[in-house]
């Protein structure tokens, strides 16, 4: 079973629209971390956020916001007033402790966002 | 520019060969992570070092090994290369602020092509 599911493979929006990228995770641990990363067409990876499991406060950073809901095991990412520069593949990831190998990271398959001017 | 450097940027080699990928973290960052991104497997975590010690191990094959040196740079060694090892290899370094919030900074990646 997938530890991190990003059900939306591709999304297209028109510039200035809001868009939400979904992320559902699976873990039995009470302590874990959730991440979002951005990979623009140029190929580099950009870290966006790390959230620990004990902090369910929503996070806002400029036009980006994240909604963490333990009850639904979701960590959704919303871009407000999207811009062309937001076009990228976005990855959600989970890190959970492993007694044998330390923290383990699991990535979703990514959501490709295209913002149309 | 993230401040993390990776060399080489591109590498073309043959099956059965051995290569070494190098990562220099941002000044002062003690943690280094290695990731692999391939078309087949997607993004995968390989291994993490913290101040010279292995901290976490992910889907790293036995043919692969890594280390972090006293100057904190890290090397990822890939041996007995197979076609399926063709991928983009990223390294990242991280720092924690006083609030224990961790930020990762990624290098530009090394694109490995095994022929």
pLDDT per residue as tens digits for the range A55-67: 888 888 999 999 9
Portion of chain B with pLDDT greater than 70, in percent: 97
pLDDT per residue as tens digits for the range B39-82: 988 999 999 999 999 999 998 999 999 999 999 999 999 999 99
Portion of chain A with pLDDT greater than 90, in percent: 83
pLDDT per residue as tens digits for the range A9-62: 999 999 999 999 999 999 999 999 999 999 999 999 999 999 999 988 888 899
Residue pair A26/A1 in contact by the 8 Å Cβ criterion: yes
Interface residue ranges in chain A relative to chain B, Cβ cutoff 8 Å? 43-47, 50, 91, 93, 98, 101-107, 109-110
Contact B58/A46, CB-based, under 8 Å? Answer: no
Matching residue, tokens 């692969």? B64
| CA of B112 vs chain A CAs: smallest distance (Å) | 14
Burial class of B59 by CB neighbour count within 10 A (0 to 12, 13 to 18, 19+): middle
Q: How far apart are CA A40 and CA A52, in angstroms?
A: 25
Instruction: Judge whether residue B86 has pLDDT over 70.
Output: yes
Contact list, B104 vs chain A (CB under 8 Å): 47, 50
* pLDDT given for residue B98 in this prediction: 63
* pLDDT given for residue A98 in this prediction: 81
Determine the straight-line distance between the first and last CA of chain B, rounded to whole angstroms.
31
Which candidate from B57, B103, B109 shows the least CB-CB separation from A43? B109
Instruction: Judge whether residue B91 has pLDDT over 90.
Output: yes
Quick one: average pLDDT of A97-109?
Answer: 86
Instruction: Judge whether residue B23 has pLDDT over 90.
Output: yes
Contact A104/B103, CB-based, under 8 Å? Answer: no
Residue pair A11/A19 in contact by the 8 Å Cβ criterion: yes
Residue pair B79/B92 in contact by the 8 Å Cβ criterion: no
Contact A47/B103, CB-based, under 8 Å? Answer: yes
* pLDDT given for residue B65 in this prediction: 96
Q: Per-residue confidence at A92, pLDDT binned at 50, 70, 90?
A: very high
Contact A102/B105, CB-based, under 8 Å? Answer: no
Q: Is the peptide bond before B8 cis (omega within 30 degrees of 0)?
A: yes
Residue pair B45/B59 in contact by the 8 Å Cβ criterion: yes
Give the rounded distance of the alpha carbon of A57 from its chain centre. Answer: 15
Contact list, A43 vs chain B (CB under 8 Å): 88, 108-109
Cα dihedral A117, B2, B8, B10 in deg (nearest 10): -10
Q: How far apart are CA A94 and CA B14, in angstroms?
A: 34
Higher pLDDT, A109 or A101: A109
Determine the straight-line distance between the first and last CA of chain A, rounded to whole angstroms.
37
């Amino acid at each position: 079973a997938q530890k991190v599911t990003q059900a939306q493979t591709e999304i297209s929006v028109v510039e200035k629209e809001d868009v939400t990228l979904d992320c559902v995770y699976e873990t039995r641990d009470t302590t874990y971390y959730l991440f979002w990363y951005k990979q623009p067409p140029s190929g580099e990876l950009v870290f966006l956020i790390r959230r620990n499991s004990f902090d369910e406060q929503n996070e806002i950073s400029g036009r980006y916001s994240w909604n963490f809901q333990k009850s639904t095991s979701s960590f959704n990412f919303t871009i407000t007033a999207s811009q062309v520069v937001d076009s990228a593949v976005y990855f959600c990831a989970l890190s959970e402790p492993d007694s044998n190998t330390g923290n383990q990271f699991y990535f979703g398959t990514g959501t490709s966002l295209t913002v149309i001017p | 520019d993230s401040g993390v450097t990776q060399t080489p940027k591109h590498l073309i080699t043959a099956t059965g060969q051995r290569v070494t990928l190098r990562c220099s973290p941002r000044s002062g960052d003690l943690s280094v992570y290695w990731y692999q991104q391939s078309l087949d497997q997607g993004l995968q975590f390989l291994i993490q070092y913290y101040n010279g010690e292995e901290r976490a191990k992910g889907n790293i094959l036995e043919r692969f090994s890594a280390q972090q040196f006293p100057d904190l740079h890290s090397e990822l060694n890939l041996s007995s290369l197979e076609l399926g090892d063709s991928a983009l290899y990223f390294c990242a370094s991280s720092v924690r602020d006083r609030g224990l919030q961790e930020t990762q900074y990624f290098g530009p990646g090394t694109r490995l092509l095994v022929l």
